[in-house]
Structure 1
Amino acid sequence: MARADLLLDLVQAERHGDRDRFRTLVEAVIAEERANQHHLLADRLSELITTTGQGLTRDDRAAAVRDLVEEIVPQRRLAELELAPVPQRVITELVEEQRRAELLRSYGIEPRNRLLLSGPPGNGKTSVAEAIASELMLPFYVIRYEGVVSSFLGETAARLDSAFEFARTRRCVLFFDELDTIAKERADEHETGEIKRVVSTLLLQIDRLPAHVVLVGATNHSELLDRAAWRRFQVRAELEAPSRSQATHYLERLADRFGGDLGFAPRTLADKLAGASFAELEEFALDVRRRAVLELPDADVRRIVKERLEHWRSQATE
């Protein structure tokens, strides 16, 4: 069981209403229980502190920046994602560095904390960011573009400052989707001076992030990123559309998740859905399962799959 001093500090933090310290101490208890091979207890504690208050703002101070930053309860785990070997390795290494940050610091080394994900949409960039937060048992914050980007000159940079200032004061994972929308190449003669000032502000804020804040940037168009912004990320991973074998394996897992029957063998479906992203494969399987449930008890899953395949092909050729 957890050390007596940890339990005493835990009770004292609760009595004083110190929620940040209470959470930090619970995370310390979880780490200790994992070290003692008490994984069931550690998993249960982790689940409690990452799901309590789902749908509500769990950080009181987040209320002041709720228009700029949204907190999301992480649900994904890295083991659930289909990743190619290279992205799998670099992402796993970043998670390990954050988990063992104290060991690195004892040697005068800081863990890496800035990850750039690129690739076509629907192939796991948001899921990876969420899974990193889940693995590290950290709050997951997402930059809200509708709140940060303003039509008024000067306001966007100021709002970016506020969002990053909030993130710097806590240990968390901060997700910046569609990074190319703001971090555009400043050498582009068609861009305004305002955009260039925003990029400069963004670069300054990234430089000021402490190592305990994990910044995950995502872009569908890495070629549009300002080169200085691209270089700010110590770790970069390309998330491509699934290969045939990846799609087959993913469809096998989806079949298990959605009831074990997708009408055709996963390999056959992978061939018929060639070119689909991971998100499209999941939506296809979910659509089949939804229709099959509605047609119970006489559902013909094979017929449903054939109909959905025809629809998918027609959309793909539009």
Structure 2
Amino acid sequence: MPEEILSGFDKVVLGGLRPLASLLASSGKRARLSVLIYHRVLAAPDALLPGEPDAVQFRWQMELLARYFNPLPLSEAVRRLREETLPPRAVSVTFDDGYADNVEVALPILQQVKVPATFFIATGYLDGGWMWNDKVIETLRHMPNGDFDLTDMGLDIYPLVSTVDRLAAIEQILVRLKYLPSEEREEQVQALTQRCQKSLSHSLMMTSIQVRQLHQAGMEIGAHTHTHPILASLGRASAEQEMATSKARLEDLLGESVRLFAYPNGKPGKDYLQEHADIAQNLNFEAAVSTAWGVASAQSDIWQLPRFTPWDRTPSRFMLRLLWNYRSAGTPFAYSEAE
């Protein structure tokens, strides 16, 4: 890791973490697996996407993983979890949704530091699609300063002057729309985007070629449904179709079996139910991941593996968070903030 990235405090703390990391060196039956969630890696910081790392931040995060941990492809980590042969401080990196910057920005860094990753793709947005939440963000980004009146949509009046205003409006609108029935939500989002004169680009999400590029680079590809619905809001047949369609389209694209699945949004009991874990098993997925906070142990349900998002912005805090996370195995109802 370039020394100029580390503050004096970071250097002291990271030096002191070496013995702590050694204490967490359990392997085999007692080992635990930490699975990290990412969505995007930005080429440069974006004030309206404060939770997404940029390339500089992502690089030092991956360099820390390579130096202090044992990064494994998720499929290998799950297999070794079941066999009780995990190495100490095992970690797997995952990405959800299928953003193009995963290929353009994250992939070169992963290759350079030799950290494997698994990319869960919502197939309905490949080749020019947009997820509804991104449409909201980009609409609010490009609206002119002033009051944004959405009372005719059953929403509020949102002052848009500062970045703080826009962030607050985005958060409030996303919360209001998130759990609406999908058709109603899409109608609301369409009505919202029509108020913005700027058209959306066609390069936010991956192309089919980029999915193949990831696969050819040795990265794993997993399914993430077709249109990223809240599975718990669907009937069983519709939920199974969403999961199966994503799997089939990726298998057709890659020419091989897709073995891993990530639940959209991922909060157990709220975004997906036990029946969806059963569907994942019936569809011959070998494992599935949620957004329940924690680490996986040999006793974990491999169709509901916990994950968490490393929010911390300094190397020392990032390391402390990762090491602290190994202290307790995640439970299905310990929710994270990740989506």
TM-score, normalised to structure 1's length?
Answer: 0.27
Larger radius of gyration, structure 1 or 2? 1
Bigger relative contact order, structure 1 or 2 (CA pairs below 8 A, ≥6 apart) = 2
Task: Considering fraction of residues, name the structure with more helix.
Answer: 1
